[in-house]
Chains A and B, each alone.
Chain A
């Protein structure tokens, strides 16, 4: 469905992504993990068609990502990106104007569930409320691929539960979910595949069920092994 082939992105003298090759399948929830600056966000932005790779390819259904793929891939940035004059309702209308797969009724019910109101001004939302609004507007699309960059950032425990539940409800056999987060334990309950990114490279792609049954490791244990110096015993 979504595939990156030896993709590289350089910014001036820094290589943010250094030859990541990975193929994402429908019906799976991927956790993209790695410390700050490891290249997770850059990879996601290339998948969303927002930044152009220096070399390599990012393909959706076999063709390079671009205008057509944006109809099927939805991306939620970790930073707020709405126009400052917008209300939550305006943001929904904006999505409805540009994305055929956006469902306003679903958006309004997600807003209600997140305890937000359409008339709320986006510029006066707290960081937690903004995170919930971004989730609502992104998940109200019936897209094929969901790229959620740090969806749990700055959100309290109860809101995290709500968001996790909403993400799981949206996941389906024909959909690919990709989430990045620093909250590794939080991701354990959602993801079925982990992509460990280190220094712009794919250090490991791990099936979490196999990791647990065959090696007796949790995702957090494997994370510590890859990025830390702690030996974890099975």
Chain B
């Protein structure tokens, strides 16, 4: 398992280095803007960092889905499936590596965001402006959201867990496409429909599961727990299909 995870990490290394490099450039712009009293550069830095925080996590998830597709539909599949490892381990390593990468990436951007907000405290006016914009943005999503660190942490956990469950739905769609419909002309379209149906279903379950809860922070955390549970179910279904039907 350790070796499988090592090579999964290696396969996604380029994507991660790209995200890290772009983040470093955006952070430099942010610092130059902040300490050089240049509002335009500062604003560019803030916008870029915000985009990268969401974009980076999205790209890391999507890259893992593309790699899974390549690992099943090209000759590179032999590298994985000729080793003495079960589908449980092969897919488990992929999901664990990707889940950890998303969580670490999220934790990294949360910490970086906290650091940058703290730095902004030294600049009166700038912070208030940014803080108000952020509060307005969040309250358009849900009026119950308050802007404090515990709520932000719960929201971050919720976004990451939901994204992991979305990636799990995509994994299942890719495996269904390869193992059950391989070679058929409409396999890609059917897989896309299956992924959409799974996303709707998981969203529905999460909504129903959190409906009776009032406290917004609890809603975020319960929602995240349901998303992780659904990811586990998706993993088990995907592995069963791989074990019984997958030919590479």
Contact = CB atoms under 8 A, between A and B. Distances in A.
Contacts of A85: 10-11
A117 interface: no
Given A50-B248, A51-B247, A77-B78, A11 B183 contact: yes
A232 interface: no
B3 A97 contact: yes
Interface in B218-248: 244-248
A156 B78 CA distance: 26
A52 B7 CA distance: 25
Contact of B84 (A11, A52, A79, A98): A98
A231 interface: no
Interface string A1-34: 0000000000110000000000000000000000
A71 B79 contact: no
Interface of chain A: mostly helix, strand, loop or mixed: loop
Contact of A81 (B78, B83, B86, B244): B78
B81 A81 contact: no
A227 interface: no
Interface in B65-94: 75-79, 81-86
B184 interface: yes
Given A11-B183, A51-B247, A97-B3, A82 B79 contact: yes
B75 A79 contact: yes
Given A50-B248, A83-B76, A98-B3, A67 B86 contact: yes
**Considering residues B10, B76, B83, which has the most beta carbons from chain A within 10 angstroms of its beta carbon?**
B83
A80 B3 CA distance: 22
Given A12-B184, A67-B85, A81 B76 contact: yes
A178 B184 CA distance: 32
Contacts of A77: 75, 78
A49 interface: yes
Given A48-B82, A52-B246, 20 more contacts: A11-B183, A12-B184, A45-B247, A49-B81, A49-B82, A50-B81, A50-B82, A51-B247, A71-B84, A75-B78, A79-B75, A82-B76, A83-B11, A85-B10, A94-B7, A98-B3, A98-B83, A98-B85, A99-B83, A99-B84
Query: What are the 9 A-B residue pairs with the smallest beta carbon separation, nearest first?
Result: A51-B247, A81-B75, A98-B83, A70-B84, A81-B78, A97-B3, A79-B75, A71-B84, A67-B84
